[in-house]
Structure 1
């Protein structure tokens, strides 16, 4: 009887070990890391933002390169890691840098592995905003939204870019019984509006570093830095 109990105990231990090993392997497989793969120079600045670099801007100073390895659904966490690496070398702008095929042509963007070129761009050379509303889906499922009585469906990891008119009121709704409704009225063409529609409750960033969402709910106002990062790794869809 003692031998039987010992055998059962050992079997249970083996099952527990197998379960733990499986969980650890899954976490390692899905883990995402961000590291500086190249540093050409560093720059001393106190800029808190990290914006997309205008491709045509020639006065930007190339500082180095970060690489993202592994896929994660938590884009806010990924952005925070990228932001920290950028600030280690004083970068305030970035460009997604595609990997190349053998013939030198750029590969399609792969959210599981990509490079980010990091720059310092003088503030007076930053791209002027164009008066647009960006609406991002979550990373997991289609989102149905309504903007000024017009319906849209935004697929996972995509975004809409809608032209806005100064002075006009825009009402954004998730069309759910208990969903959010947001009304905004842009004053000029010199500002963009950024929102993410999600069924998840997103906690605001309290660190003060690389600010994320402005409030929690299913329509979330985004900080420009985070929004421009999403616009670089998500796909724009025609309304």
Structure 2
């Protein structure tokens, strides 16, 4: 009886530690746009209309599920762009992002005012395991919840492979450098999202092509490591 109770308490604690609440903490106004995307707002973005804020409480390794909740909340008030809104320290300085508790500011930005993409290749790690990858015969080690970026050279073929027995390989050849490419080396078996509303849109074994909205979210909560 006591043993069963201890097991039950342990399971409850595990779920509690991994529970994550996502809610609209502030709504200033709403917008009735039907944009399907939710992109990260850059410092150069102009004419972004502030709509409200989302707060995320609790840590989760399932970043796709968390993004899905954030996306739904953002669309409730018509947001199509977002940015990190840090909490403040006692002395007024901003706190760094804490993946167990953070805020996201929501905006509506006219499509013509969105900043251009910067012609980079993004490769994200998984949320819980180190991942060795190879890009054009150069090895990289991706630590959990991190990512690297490489400048895109138009016309060059980029071969991305995982350093595993029977691992996956993807080859891409960008024609221009006015778009970004996003991939994730995943330790999980993830299904592709065919809805077009912000998820995964390409999969080859343990290398996954990411839609920009989800990739922008990962670039917010993951650490950028310079290769």
TM-score (norm. length: structure 2): 0.96
Structure 1: distance between partners of 2:199 and 2:222: 19
Does the 8 A contact of 1:198 with 1:219 survive in 2?
yes
Deviation at 1:28, TM superposition (A): 1.9
Deviation at 1:15, TM superposition (A): 3.2
2:76 is the counterpart of 1:88: yes
Q: Output the aligned Cα RMSD.
A: 1.3
2:16 is the counterpart of 1:28: yes
Offset from partner CA, 1:59-108 (integer Å, 9 cap, x none): 00000000000000010011101100000000000001111101110012
2:86 is the counterpart of 1:98: yes
2:23 is the counterpart of 1:73: no
Moved more, 71-80 or 206-215: 206-215
| 3-state SS of paired residue (1:215) | strand
Q: How many residues align?
A: 227
Residues 129/208 of structure 1: CA separation in 2 closer, same or farther (3 Å cut): closer
For 1:141-180, what aligned pairs fall within 5 Å after superposition? Answer: 141-180=129-168
Q: 181, 185, 188: which is aligned to 2:176?
A: 188
Deviation at 1:206, TM superposition (A): 4.8
Q: Which residue of 2 aligns with 1:114?
A: 102
TM-score (norm. length: structure 1): 0.91
Q: Which structure features the higher share of helix residues? A: 1
2:42 is the counterpart of 1:54: yes
Does the 8 A contact of 1:32 with 1:70 survive in 2?
yes
Deviation at 1:127, TM superposition (A): 1.0
Moved >3 Å (runs of 4+): 206-209
Structure 1: distance between partners of 2:14 and 2:29: 37
| 3-state SS of paired residue (1:109) | coil
| 3-state SS of paired residue (2:202) | coil
For 1:131-142, what aligned pairs fall within 5 Å after superposition? Answer: 131-142=119-130
